[in-house]
Every structure is written in C-alpha cells, then in structure tokens.
Amino acid sequence: MALTAPQATGPELKGPLDFEDSPLSRASKQPLMLGLFLNLQDINFSSVPTSNSWTFDYNAELVKKADELGFEIAFSRTQWLPKGGYDGSASLDSFIALGAMSAITKNILLISTIHVLYGPLHPLHLAKYGATLDHISRGRWGINIVTGHRAVEHEMFGWQRIDHDKRYDMTSELFDVLHRLWTETENFSYEGKLNPWSINNGWITPKPLFGRPNLVTATGSPAGFDFAARHSDLVFVTSPGGAHIDSALETLPDHIATLKNRAAAYGRQVKAIINPIVVSRDTEKEALAYADAIEAGKPQPGTRAFATNNYDSDAHAWRGRGDARHKQGRNLGGNIEIIGSPEQVVDQLVGLKKAGIDGVQLNFYDFRADLDYFAERILPLLKEADLRL
C-alpha cells in the first residue's frame, strides 16, 4: 500500500503545457511527435556491424540531424551498473550529455535521465541545475524522472532497494518541493518527511521560463501512473502486450486511457509516448531479412554477453514480455518493434496514434544509417498520412 506523500503547498504550480509559447506546447501541436532515443553507452547486442558509438560527438551529430529534420525530442537513459554490467566498456551520463547539447541545438527538447532518490543530489542542487539548463536551452531541457527499479543500482549508492510504491511517494514529495523552489518569491524552508533532507531558507534564481523544466516519467504501474498524472508532462508507456506491434495495438488503448483519465482527475493533461525500434527497408522482404540478421547475431544463452543485464528488477512496465496470451517480438531493442517497408512503418505508426500515442521516441539498430533512411523514405510519408504538419 502506497503512503500518502506530504505536499509542500504554495503558489499555483504551472508547467510548460500551461504556456502557449513554451517549446513543449509548440512540440505537442504535432499530430505525432518524433523523438530520438539515444544510446550514450556501448550497445552491441548483435554481431551485425553498425556505425554506433557511445561518444558525445557521435550522439551530438545525431541530435543536430534530428533537430534539423524537425524532431521534437531527444532522450537517453542513464544506468548505474557494476563493471561488466554494460553491453560494452563505456557509458556517458545523460544529465550532463543532454544538457550540453542545449548549446548546439535550436528547437529540439532535450530530456536527461536522472535517478532522483539516491546519490548526493539535494533538492536545491536539482532546482538550481534544472533552472540553469532551462535558461541555457530556453525552456527545451527536461528531466526523465527515475526512481530506480534495479536493486544493484540502489546498492551501488549504499542503499537497499526501496519498496516500489514508496519510491514514488518519496519522489512525489521531492517534486512538490522542487515546484516550490522553482516558483517561490521568498525563501522556502521544509523538513523532509519521507526523504532524508531538509531545506532552511532555500532560494534559487533564476526561475524557469515556463513554470518549471519539462518533466517525463517512464512507468506502467498504478503508483507510477498516479505520480505521472500529478507531476509529468510526457509519460513513456510500455505495451502491456509485449513488443509485437499487433499485441501493442491491442493492449495500448485501455492502458493509455487509464493514464490520461488519471491525469484528468487531477485537472491535468499528459502526453503518452512510446519507444519503438524501427527496422525498415524498401520492401517487406528486405526489412524482414534485416531483422532476421539482427536477431541471428544476438548473444546466445550461456555467454557472458547474454547474461549482462539480468539484474533483479521490480519494474512493472515490462511484465507483458513473455506473456503467452500475446504475440511476442524478437527482442531487437525498443519497447515495441516496427518492421517493414516505409509504407508499412507508416501504417503501424498510424495505428499507434489511433491507440492514443502522442509521440514516438525512435530507436534504430544503426542510428546514423537508419536515421538517414527514415528521413529520406519515411518522413515524407508521415506528412502524407497527416501525422506531421
């Protein structure tokens, strides 16, 4: 049973969607927002060669390209794993990397993943850093709020993993306080009830340009939906039916309706986004051959690479994987798999829009080559299908 998170009441709290001229409000005018799901770490889950690199220069090149193409969002995860836990040898921090991209982009929203509960970050740090990046990016920067679902990540910081629902209550208290710091016109004091910190005459300036930075949550549990409905602008949803597109289109409508109805009960709106991997070639046969090759090149059971990410997790969102009631995908990456010719890709994206999805954070097997292909062959068809203005 979840606790009731204490609320730090204060001035009326407004977010970017309450401002008509905010970058998020402008982005959400697109029938289907487009995002790029960056990999700031070695991702070598198949032997099929790629151009992919964890380096800042490679990923900055991708984000600048996406910005020029009119994409609305760039995002990357952050993980805290022991030696040997990553797919490769290197991993950049999303907080720093996406913040740095503010200086080299013009319009795209930049979402940094931050584990907000453990580590040395105090609410004053988060409020000040967030307001600073908000001004550098002119309202384009935001936080993907992560509470930590893997026991190993909590343990790395000297904690035992916190109960799933309690994590959201602690995070809710934190963001109530951050909202106060971002909006208060006088010094603000608060004694943490669920969190081990306090604030005495806290003050940060400048204030964010549009109430607060953009806030994102990836979740699928009742506690997570309730948190997102209260605090977030964009919500990464996961297909309850697993990665196969047919199962996703069958199970997503009710799932998304639950989320949006929960937000409406708080007098708010949220946008639902999802992370598909797009595997496309000129014909269905060629696309399937590409997907077959990627799948054939994956590490096999019994190898170190196969076992890399088998860490204990209490995440709810991925429980649809392996459910025998639904078609299952190939485990090629991403939350769902979109495979086919450009026309078939567009048809599947139309289906996601009809299911209630407001945006897609696109994943590719070879980011540079496949993004170029998407731009040349698929993006024009999205406009023809009225998914893009």
Smallest CA-to-CA distance from 76 within 110, 53, 34 is with: 110
| Alpha carbon separation from 176 to 206, 227, 316, 336 (Å, rounded) | 18, 11, 24, 33
Average pLDDT, stretch 16-37? 97
Percent of the chain with pLDDT over 90: 75
Residue 41 or 264, more confident: 264
Average pLDDT, stretch 15-32? 97
pLDDT band per the 50, 70, 90 thresholds, residue 148: confident
Report d(CA 40, CA 155) in Å as an integer. 23
Say if residues 28 and 389 touch (Cβ distance below 8 Å): no
The pLDDT tens digits of the residues spanning 344-387 come to 999 999 999 999 999 999 999 999 999 999 999 999 999 999 99
Least confident of 65-79, 87-101, 245-259, 284-298: 87-101
- In order, the DSSP letters of 36-50 are EEE--B----SSS--
State the DSSP code for 103. Answer: G
- How confident is the prediction for the chain on average, in pLDDT? 90
Say if residues 370 and 332 touch (Cβ distance below 8 Å): no
The CATH homologous superfamily for domain 16-384 is Luciferase-like domain (3.20.20.30)
In this predicted structure, what is the pLDDT of residue 11? 61
The pLDDT tens digits of the residues spanning 103-139 come to 999 999 999 999 999 766 899 999 999 999 999 999 9
Residue 276 or 2, more confident: 276
Please check the confidence at residue 319 and state whether its pLDDT lies above 70.
no
In this predicted structure, what is the pLDDT of residue 300? 65
| Alpha carbon separation from 112 to 99, 130, 144, 214, 345 (Å, rounded) | 7, 10, 6, 10, 28
In this predicted structure, what is the pLDDT of residue 52? 94
| Alpha carbon separation from 277 to 50, 290, 339 (Å, rounded) | 15, 13, 8
Please check the confidence at residue 4 and state whether its pLDDT lies above 70.
no
In this predicted structure, what is the pLDDT of residue 314? 60
Please report which residue ranges of the chain form alpha helices under DSSP H: 23-27, 56-69, 94-100, 123-137, 151-156, 164-183, 222-231, 245-265, 284-296, 304-307, 342-354, 367-373, 379-384
Residue 149 or 11, more confident: 149
Domain regions of the chain by residue span: 16-384
In this predicted structure, what is the pLDDT of residue 10? 59
In this predicted structure, what is the pLDDT of residue 323? 65
Percent of the chain with pLDDT over 70: 89
Please check the confidence at residue 301 and state whether its pLDDT lies above 80.
no
In this predicted structure, what is the pLDDT of residue 306? 45
